[in-house]
Amino acid sequence: PVVMTTNTMNGHFAAVGDQASKEHFEHGIQVIDEDKVFNQNLPAYLQQEGVIRAGFNYHLISVFGSQSTGKSTLLNHLFGTQFGVMSEQERRQTTKGIWMSKNKRENADGGGQKMADNILVMDVEGTDGRERGEDQDFERKSALFALATSEVLIVNIWEHQVGLYQGANMGLLKTVFEVNLQLFLKDSKNIPRSLLFFVIRDHLGVTPLSNLRQTLLADLSRIWSTLSKPPGLEQSKIEDYFDFAFVALPHKILQPEKFVTEVQKLGTRFREGYNDPIRKGLVDEQSEPILLPEYHRRIPADGFPVYAQNVWEQIESNKDLDLPTQQELLAQFRCDEISKEVLVAFDEAITPLEEKQTSASKAGSPVVLAELGRIMNSARTDVLKNFEIEASRYHKGVFKRKQAELAAQIDSRLKTLFLGQLSAAHKSGLADFSTAVTNQVKAGQKKGSSYDFHAIVSTEKKKALSRFEEAAQSTLIEGAAFSDYKQELNLYKKDLDGVSGQLRKDEMRRLASRIERWVRTRLSESVGVEFNKLGSGRGGSGAPADGEKPSSEKDLWDRIWAVFTDTVDMAETRFTERAKSFDASEDEVDVGLWRLRRKSWGVLKAKIEEECSEGNLLLKLRENFEDKFRYDEEGVPRIWRPTDDIEGIYTKARESTLELIPLLSRFQHSKTGSPPPLEAWIGEAPASVSAADEEDLAPIGGVDDEEGVTLEEEMTVLSDAKRQDLIKRFRKTADGVYVEAKRSAIGGVTQ
């Protein structure tokens, strides 16, 4: 397997370094030196010549031929290059290794025919064996290298060498054919055709070019027939692999002017033409363009240095040269480089957003990033577009794979951003929703007006949903692997419902405490009224017959229970109406009512305790007693006379009042003497009661059995000790009143 060398990885697009400054490239660049070492400055050279970004818009031409046949001279004339040429005096090889130069006559206009853009010419060391002895190694290697890279191989040959089958040129051509077969075997489909362009020098004109061509073609066929062809290719013809073109140039020294015009004419043929399926292996017309698309090696300019170097290294180390593999390796290498390049701009746009999102969510306050969708979309489009522009020129399979890798890589980052955005929108949406509802409720409460909780919640919910959808919709990325937010939206809806459920619970609590306050006020008044009636010992009209207590005293608890249950009934109706208005469920209403009844009972108990405090009771008993003692049956104040049965009246009044104490000490029905049906009235706790619902509820004796308090105890208003104490203190008070009456009676007589 071929391993891509990495020593060319850097500097592809680097600025031209010191080493590779302009003067170093005065004569072009020595791609491969006499020691067969590949030049690392090729990228810099292509950069300097403005070719590196040309994509496929460049051409590579090589020149072959025996040494000192005027190859460099020809190239310099054709392309305005400055390859070294041998001076007329020294007969010494000047071109060593392989040189490359860009066409300097690109803008020359030869009779309206402009040359193609970005022609790169390679001047390959000639052969003669003079300098390299019998070493054919370099010749073979450079032929292979030229074939692997060049569209057109110029074969430079003297006219007088034509037909000399044994000549050095024929050896070279044999080598070219052999190495081409070798390449062809590796990949018969993708090895492009090449043009062998014979330039016949010092053409005297005696023999017409067509004859020279015939001779050469015959020689070529002869060479071809002597090659041992691999199985399957025995019948193949030379024309299956090469196109041929021929041109003859006049003698440069004998006919210098004609030489120049002919070379100029030749120059115009270095322009792009069209593939012609009819033409069979022969480019004939003397003015036809020779740069046909089918000759192009399809190595993008920016990948050429790496490709050329790796091809050379394969050749140089005598490994099997496998161009398809080389092209795939090149594609992988370049696609990775291009990925890195295009990701720079992507990172610039996306990294700050990623950092913002990460740090905000770490801080626990995720933010919805403005413009996120727009930035993500354009960053994604740009990165993929830029990648495609550069990388699609490489091996299609590799390009597609690398493109998918790149898309997956950026999409995973974008998806993280997208999900982060959704989660921020989720979190802030719930918080905003809750705040908006709470604020409007508060404002409603402040105004004292009744607000429509249901309407507030449903309006805010709609807003919250559309805000979320907006955020999500604007962050969607066209073409990315993630394209919907259904799941997230559902989750958001669910949580929104959760929050509004919580808000409704809060509202229920507020409603409950409003109703409780109302119950408290009502009971305070109405229960107070009932107790106050005790102050008047006469109750109803007239004196009670057979020692019966007046109804206002005896049925005190009946009336309190009735007032209490009526009040709570009204409260329940109000509560139910309101709660239903904001969609509280049956269960929630049931729990609310159950709580209301329990709390109301607590309110009543507190009110009773307040009324039955020692001071209050003493005052009421005294009033009750005085009413009975000081007023006669008609309600007229008594004026005590010594003859009056003060003691009898006193005893009767006192005993009557004292009867109140046992009555007061226990909440019970006046006729049955049983406690009120509290447990049945409160009812069973609804099944949906939660721990939170029960948290602030005081235990009720007899209802909550587990509390160890009985209903009897719950209904006890005055304990025995309290009763005794009360009796004692009341008697003292009553005694005082009696003594005072007695005194006033005696006083009345003395007056």
Site of interaction with Mg ion (CB under 5 A): 71-72, 95
Q: Find the radius of gyration of the CA atoms of the chain.
A: 57
What's the gap between Cα 15 and its chain centre? Answer: 37
β-strand pairing of 98-102 with 113-114: unpaired
633 binds, among Mg ion, ligand GDP, none (CB under 5 to 8 A by kind): none
Question: Is the Cβ of residue 202 or residue 322 nearer to ligand GDP in the bound state?
Answer: 202
> Which residue is closest to ligand GDP by CB?
70
* Residue from 218, 253, 481, 529 binding ligand GDP (CB under 6 A): 253
User: Crossing angle of helices 486-532/586-611, nearest 10°?
Assistant: 30
On whether the CB atoms of residues 266 and 197 are closer than 8 A, the answer is no
- Quote the least distance from Cβ 101 to ligand GDP, whole Å: 13
* Residue from 132, 141, 252, 380 binding ligand GDP (CB under 6 A): 252
203 binds, among ligand GDP, Mg ion, none (CB under 5 to 8 A by kind): none
Instruction: Tell me which stretch binds ligand GDP (CB under 6 A): 228-236, 246-254, 379-387, 563-571.
Output: 246-254
Binders in 532-591 for ligand GDP, by CB under 6 A: none
Binding mask 172-211 for ligand GDP (x = CB under 6 A): -----------------------------xx---------
Vertex 562, ends 557 and 564: CA angle to 5°?
90
- Quote the least distance from Cβ 157 to ligand GDP, whole Å: 11
Give just the sign of the alpha carbon dihedral 377, 378, 383, 386. Answer: positive
201 binds, among Mg ion, ligand GDP, none (CB under 5 to 8 A by kind): ligand GDP
- Quote the least distance from Cβ 221 to ligand GDP, whole Å: 26
Alpha-carbon span 431 to 623, nearest angstrom: 61
Question: Is the Cβ of residue 95 or residue 327 nearer to Mg ion in the bound state?
Answer: 95
67 binds, among ligand GDP, Mg ion, none (CB under 5 to 8 A by kind): ligand GDP
Q: Which two tokens stand for residue 268?
A: 């115009």
Alpha-carbon span 448 to 433, nearest angstrom: 23
On whether the CB atoms of residues 526 and 612 are closer than 8 A, the answer is no
Alpha-carbon span 296 to 349, nearest angstrom: 38
69 binds, among ligand GDP, Mg ion, none (CB under 5 to 8 A by kind): ligand GDP
Binders in 112-131 for ligand GDP, by CB under 6 A: 126
- Quote the least distance from Cβ 83 to Mg ion, whole Å: 6
Alpha-carbon span 416 to 433, nearest angstrom: 25
Q: Should residue 251 be labelled a site residue for ligand GDP when binding is judged by CB under 6 A? A: yes
Segment holding 196, helix H or strand E: strand 194-201
Alpha-carbon span 389 to 338, nearest angstrom: 10
Alpha-carbon span 689 to 694, nearest angstrom: 7
DSSP 8-state symbol, 207: S
Binders in 468-487 for ligand GDP, by CB under 6 A: none
- Quote the least distance from Cβ 72 to ligand GDP, whole Å: 3
Provide DSSP, 674-689.
Answer: PPP-HHHHH-PPPTT-
Provide DSSP, 25-76.
Answer: GBTBEEEE-TT-PBPTTHHHHHHHTT-TT-TT--EEEEEEEBTTSSHHHHHH
- Quote the least distance from Cβ 218 to ligand GDP, whole Å: 25
Question: Is the Cβ of residue 99 or residue 346 nearer to Mg ion in the bound state?
Answer: 99
- Quote the least distance from Cβ 145 to ligand GDP, whole Å: 18
- Quote the least distance from Cβ 67 to ligand GDP, whole Å: 5
Q: Which two tokens stand for residue 595?
A: 């709580």
Question: Is the Cβ of residue 204 or residue 481 nearer to ligand GDP in the bound state?
Answer: 204
657 binds, among ligand GDP, Mg ion, none (CB under 5 to 8 A by kind): none
On whether the CB atoms of residues 700 and 714 are closer than 8 A, the answer is yes
Binders in 36-95 for ligand GDP, by CB under 6 A: 67-73, 85-86, 88, 94-95
622 binds, among ligand GDP, Mg ion, none (CB under 5 to 8 A by kind): none
Q: Exposed, middle or buried: residue 360 (CB in 10 Å: 0-12, 13-18, 19+)?
A: middle
Question: Is the Cβ of residue 31 or residue 682 nearer to ligand GDP in the bound state?
Answer: 31
On whether the CB atoms of residues 46 and 306 are closer than 8 A, the answer is no
Question: Is the Cβ of residue 252 or residue 522 nearer to ligand GDP in the bound state?
Answer: 252
Alpha-carbon span 468 to 583, nearest angstrom: 24
Segment holding 244, helix H or strand E: strand 242-248
- Quote the least distance from Cβ 249 to ligand GDP, whole Å: 6
88 binds, among ligand GDP, Mg ion, none (CB under 5 to 8 A by kind): ligand GDP
Question: Is the Cβ of residue 70 or residue 305 nearer to Mg ion in the bound state?
Answer: 70
- Quote the least distance from Cβ 110 to ligand GDP, whole Å: 19
By rule CB under 6 A, what count of residues binds ligand GDP?
18
68 binds, among ligand GDP, Mg ion, none (CB under 5 to 8 A by kind): ligand GDP
Question: Is the Cβ of residue 269 or residue 654 nearer to ligand GDP in the bound state?
Answer: 269
101 binds, among Mg ion, ligand GDP, none (CB under 5 to 8 A by kind): none
Per the rule left: phi > 0, alpha: psi between -120 and 50, beta: everything else, 242 is beta
Q: Which residues of the shown chain bind ligand GDP in the complex (CB under 6 A)? A: 67-73, 85-86, 88, 94-95, 126, 201-202, 251-253
